[in-house]
């Protein structure tokens, strides 16, 4: 087997590492069978461009001159002039991927990893590394080679002709909604209310991408999309998108590390508050420590769910951890496990069913009709506006790697609802 890993070739101005993968897969498939993989890594890394993804091309055999072809393609298409772009390429040949590479992939999902760490590991197993500028991309490149998907999905990506890069994408919106109606839930995150989500907003080569459970469904979905421009090429990647591979369970708040993504069970111990910018903040305790959880403004209606929490609610929170001293959890999902009971004081009811009125200060309550009296107000339990279920941020605010609730339901997780 021969493996090529590539990462950090794009910038906010354009390009996409998946496009380089598609170019190379088309050329190299003339000589050997190829499995292209799109590998999402830690979404909390501050150096990422958009979705923090690398690509890996797995080949049955090593084509002649493959290293030169890959490096020339990176040199030609990568945004090397951008100060924040530092491409990296890793080549590895062997019967199977070393377990150390797979452990490195897991680490890259949850922690911050250094260039030296990636370089030393690659060299120790005879992998060839090629760094452009600082070569930060070798981290994602090596992790992509080492990736093992415990759960996986697929993405079909269609690319634009170069003359259209940076121009408005010509996609028939109605056809996207029709495609979604016919293929959901085997495809997901295609639309959100009146908005289509398959097309990016950056000036990159991607025209659109459809995510789903299997390649055949994606091919059917692709044929339903109506376009006003030609497609240059397309590819289907096997990927860890939509799998929650980045999340790890933690039992104690003290175990939480900055830049990680966690699942934490606890009890709400503060009323949610709205801060400047429309963000909603509340705290959760594990009995010993407390940590702030945030539903930021881009999560839109999800914030209205969070605002209905009260102290005493038992919750399971999911999200990425900021690097600030408070280690705030940026919420992706919340499972309301048990709602606290809420009561309010009301005037007592008369036997006739009418609500009694005050008979005067410190004189109890009376029914004007029946002329009956009662001394005190009564405590009445009132229903909560939340349900004991999972709530998730809307699709437009969802991270690439986060598992949509429709996939949660397919695996028999608790009753769910998308905010």
Mean pLDDT on 195-211: 96
In this predicted structure, what is the pLDDT of residue 415?
A: 39
pLDDT digits (tens, 9 = 90+) for 207-243: 999 999 999 999 999 999 999 999 999 999 999 999 9
pLDDT digits (tens, 9 = 90+) for 32-89: 999 999 999 999 988 776 678 999 999 999 999 999 999 999 999 999 999 999 999 9
What is d(CA 94, CA 72) in angstroms, rounded to the nearest whole number?
24
**CB proximity list for 147: less than 8 A, separation 6 or greater:** 37, 39, 56, 102, 105, 240
Q: How far is CA 139 from the centre of its chain?
A: 20
- CATH 3.90.600.20 domain extents, the chain: 153-239
In this predicted structure, what is the pLDDT of residue 419?
A: 46
Exposed/middle/buried for residue 319 (C-beta within 10 Å: 0-12, 13-18, 19+): buried
What is d(CA 346, CA 254) in angstroms, rounded to the nearest whole number?
43
3-state secondary structure of 146: helix
DSSP assignment of 16-51 equals -HHHHHHHHHHHHTTTS-EEEEEEE--TT-TT-SSS
What is d(CA 143, CA 127) in angstroms, rounded to the nearest whole number?
13
Bridge partners, 91 (sequence order): 4, 128
Average pLDDT, whole number, for the chain? Answer: 93
Mean pLDDT on 326-355: 91
For helices 173-183 and 215-224, angle between their N-to-C axes, nearest 10 degrees = 150
For helices 115-124 and 99-110, angle between their N-to-C axes, nearest 10 degrees = 170
Asked whether the predicted pLDDT for residue 338 surpasses 80, the reply is yes
Write down the architecture of domain 153-239 according to CATH.
Answer: Alpha-Beta Complex (3.90)
CATH of 247-341+384-418, one of 3.40.640.10, 3.30.470.20, 2.40.50.1010, 2.40.160.10: 2.40.50.1010
In this predicted structure, what is the pLDDT of residue 410?
A: 66
- CATH 2.40.50.1010 domain extents, the chain: 247-341+384-418
Asked whether the predicted pLDDT for residue 14 surpasses 70, the reply is yes
DSSP assignment of 183-203 equals HTTTEESSEETTEE-SS-SSS
Tell me the pLDDT band of 323, cut-offs 50, 70 and 90: confident
Contact 92, 105 (CB under 8 A): no
In this predicted structure, what is the pLDDT of residue 411?
A: 54
In this predicted structure, what is the pLDDT of residue 382?
A: 83
Mean pLDDT on 89-93: 98
Mean pLDDT on 348-371: 87
Asked whether the predicted pLDDT for residue 254 surpasses 90, the reply is yes
pLDDT digits (tens, 9 = 90+) for 105-127: 999 999 999 999 999 999 999 99
CATH of 2-146, one of 1.10.287.40, 3.30.70.2200, 3.30.70.100, 3.90.45.10: 3.30.70.2200
pTM above 0.85, yes or no: yes
pLDDT digits (tens, 9 = 90+) for 363-405: 889 898 888 888 888 888 888 999 999 999 999 999 999 999 9
Question: What number of helices (H) and strands (E) belong to the chain?
Answer: 9, 25
């Amino acid at each position: 087997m021969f493996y090529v890993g590539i990462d950090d070739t794009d910038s906010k101005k354009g390009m996409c590492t998946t496009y380089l993968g598609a170019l190379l897969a088309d050329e190299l498939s003339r000589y050997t069978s190829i499995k292209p993989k799109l590998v999402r890594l830690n979404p909390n890394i501050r150096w990422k461009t958009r979705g923090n993804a690398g690509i890996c091309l797995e080949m049955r055999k090593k084509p002649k001159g493959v290293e030169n072809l890959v490096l020339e393609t990176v040199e030609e298409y990568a945004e090397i002039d951008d100060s924040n772009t530092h491409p990296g390429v890793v080549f590895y040949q062997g019967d199977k991927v070393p377990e150390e590479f797979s452990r490195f992939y897991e680490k890259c999902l949850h922690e911050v990893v250094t260039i030296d760490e990636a370089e030393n590991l690659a060299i120790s197993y005879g992998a060839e590394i090629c760094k452009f500028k600082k070569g930060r991309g070798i981290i994602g490149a090596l992790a992509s080679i080492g990736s093992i998907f415990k759960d996986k999905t697929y993405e079909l990506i269609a690319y634009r002709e170069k003359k259209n890069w940076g121009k408005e994408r010509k996609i028939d919106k109605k056809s996207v909604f029709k495609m979604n109606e016919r293929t959901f839930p085997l495809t997901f995150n295609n639309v959100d209310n009146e908005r289509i989500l398959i097309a990016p907003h950056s000036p990159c080569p991607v025209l659109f991408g459809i995510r789903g459970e299997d390649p055949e469904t994606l091919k059917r979905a692709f044929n339903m999309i109506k376009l006003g421009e030609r497609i240059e090429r397309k590819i289907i990647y096997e990927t860890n998108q939509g799998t929650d591979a980045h999340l790890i369970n933690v039992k104690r708040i003290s175990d939480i590390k900055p830049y990680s993504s966690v699942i934490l069970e606890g009890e709400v111990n503060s009323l949610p508050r709205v801060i400047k910018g429309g963000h909603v903040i509340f705290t959760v305790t594990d009995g010993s420590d407390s940590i702030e959880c945030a539903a930021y403004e881009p999560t839109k209606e999800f914030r209205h769910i969070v605002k209905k929490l009260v102290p005493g609610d038992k919750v399971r929170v999911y999200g990425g951890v900021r690097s600030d001293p408070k280690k705030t959890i940026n919420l992706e999902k919340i499972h309301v496990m048990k709602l606290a009971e809420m009561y309010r004081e009301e005037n007592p009811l008369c036997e006739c069913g009418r609500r009694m009125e005050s008979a005067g200060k410190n004189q109890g309550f009376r029914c004007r009709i029946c002329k009956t009296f009662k001394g005190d107000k009564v405590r009445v339990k009132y229903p909560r506006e939340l349900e004991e279920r999972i709530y998730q941020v809307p699709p437009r605010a969802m991270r690439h790697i986060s598992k949509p609730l429709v996939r949660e339901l397919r695996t028999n997780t608790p009753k769910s609802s998308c905010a």
